[in-house]
Amino acid sequence: MCGIIGVLGNHEAAPQLVESLKRLEYRGYDSAGIATVNGGVLDRRRAVGKLVNLSDLLVHEPLAGKAGIGHTRWATHGAATTGNAHPHRSGPVAVVHNGIIENFKELRAELATFGLTQESETDTETVVMLTRHYMEQGKSAREAATATLARLEGAFALLFLFEGEEDLLIAARKGSPLAIGHGTGEMFVGSDAIALAPMTDRITYLEEGDYAFVTRQGAEIFDREGRPANREIHQIDLGQARIEKAGYKHFMAKEIAEQPAVLGDALAHYLKGSALNLPEELDFSNLDRLTLVACGTASYACHVAKYWFESLAHLPCEIDVASEFRYREPPLPAKSWALFVSQSGETADTLAALRYAAPRVEKTLAVVNVPTSSIAREADLALPILAGVEVGVASTKAFSCQLLVLAVLALKAGRDRGVLSEADLAGHLETLRLMPGLMNQALALSGEIETLAERLAEAQDILFLGRGPMYPIALEGALKLKEISYIHAEGYASGELKHGPIALIDRMVPVVVIAPHDRLFDKTVSNMQEVMARHGKVLLISDARGLAEAAEGTWATLKLPAVAEPFAPLLYTIPAQLLAYHTAVAKGTDVDQPRNLAKSVTVE
């Protein structure tokens, strides 16, 4: 997701804008730019590539002014070029934009009849052209922006800056998050609290359809109907908004290492003594079905949760990829709940799926990392995963915390539905309490995995195999590897191997087999033997008992501590993440900001 920042300050805006954009680099981007108003004159600077290129440009071509806007762009409409970079400008107006203007072609054709032609390939330029057109008709900046917003279709966050207006920013939010920061005689606008943290700890989150006129004295906020809206000012914890590598080479490495600690925080929140600490309104006893909806890594967390809900609670579950859910128009039983999982809480497809399900089910739940996010606010009940800020585009600690919260919910469902006894519940809770310590043991394999990764980095294709709840971990392991190393990787249920994927096996294809010594271990080993019979190079990840029985003939092994069923997925995700990380490092790719990917996907 692109990054937006706006400043109405008491000091030069350019340094503040660039510093805030640096804090938004974790979102992924391919160009950047800023615009300021100085002495009434609007000007801008844009550059392709990393922010250092923009910083270099500003050294040679500085921008003065205490009012400005900035942007990091992830290309959607149009390639990554200077001409397509934000801010976009037409006459007296400049705009930065996250999202997609769906009706830009119709608006562009209309504006051409007035002699306004587009210079870039982007949908965003249509916004500034339309605003300019209204200003040329005699409308004020505020009137022109409001008229423009009424014409736009799609999902967007927009921030307007005007020539001759050194005390005005106009912000609008429809489907993409935007926040206003309150200072003393200063005001700020940003994509999230991380961008605003160095400047203020007082944040107002715009609601869906809101727009705001921001001056140094404050913000006038209006809802989608144009009525004045009173939005709460939140005091944020600046410590939670800090983004530092803390001595690690990459944010991803730091976030992998943080998992025992953040999982411990989540456990402390959701477990109180020998009991679960969940809201009273969570009663699963009379449900007919639970629908789980998410995208990407979060959807794999849902796949693991399906095993848990069905085995521990005998609760039928259905999983949907959010981008397909509402278009499939699934029938949803009245006595069902729908649960939506999203790291950011702003994932466009997941939010749209929530809005589809809300009037059709008894209750909607959200499992998110940002309690002030759109999904959290719109769901009937939001459960925070408490992972803290995650900067690396490839999710690691958020995935583990999602699994933990989903595990706790499955245990609650099992108890509510009479499937789990008090003794069963106590045993499972003890397994979860041991997990941070087990994770620390798994993290100690990092050096061993680094050595294996040197060989894996030479591969063009890698397969991951798992059975039962290990199958989603195989899917997640493959996703992590291809996200950051750009090696083609696929995850399969190991029983499906002979139904097609076995055709890929040869000496050049490493196969990662994820197989704790559980009730499905013998089945997985049988599939692994089929790989080795065809000269496949097997990396077996198991515990001591599993390796003692099945390590013979494998290329390499990784030994994890024994863990009680069914929560082994929490532990086995660690080596999958480390394999991806060290392989990417060995290949020299950009681990934290892999190509073409954004941290939060707020467009369809």
Cβ(475)–Cβ(319) under 8 Å?
no
Cβ atoms of residues 567 and 407 within 8 Å: yes
**Residue 25: which of 44, 45, 53 has the closest Cα?**
53
Say whether 397 is catalytic. no
Taking Cα atoms as reference points, which of 435, 426, 406 lies closest to residue 275? Answer: 426
Q: What angle do CA 442, 446, 450 make, to 5 degrees?
A: 145
Cα–Cα dist 556/537, whole Å: 8
User: What's the token pair of residue 533?
Assistant: 């019979």
The C-alpha atoms of residue 229 and residue 56 are separated, in whole angstroms, by: 41
Q: Residue type for 407, please?
A: A
CB contact at 8 A, 244 and 389: no
Q: Which residues pair with 115 in a beta bridge?
A: none
**Cα separation, 569 vs 303, whole angstroms:** 11
Helix, strand, or coil (residue 205): strand
In single-letter form, the type of residue at position 438 comes to L
Question: What is the enclosing helix (H) or strand (E) of 482?
Answer: helix 470-485
Residues sharing a CB contact under 8 Å with residue 304, sequence separation 6 or more, in sequence order:
403, 406, 469, 472, 473, 569
Burial of 356 (0-12, 13-18, 19+ CB in 10 A): buried
Q: Can you name the residues that pair with 126 across neighbouring β-strands? A: none
Helix, strand, coil in percent for the chain, rounding step 5: 40, 25, 35
Q: Which of 2, 295, 317, 401 is catalytic?
A: 2
Pick from 169, 201, 199: nearest CA to 87: 169
What is the rounded CA–CA span in Å between residue 246 and residue 24? 18
Asked if 254 is an active-site residue, the reply is: no
Report the sign of the C-alpha dihedral through residues 453, 458, 460, 461, in that order.
negative
Strand partners, 275: 272
Asked if the peptide bond before residue 87 counts as cis, ω within 30 degrees of 0, the response is: yes
Packed helices 397-416 and 422-443: angle between N→C axes, nearest 10 degrees: 170
Active-site pick, 363, 412, 480, 599: 599
Report how far residue 249's alpha carbon sits from residue 121's, in angstroms, rounded to the nearest whole number. Answer: 37
Residues classed as catalytic: 2, 599
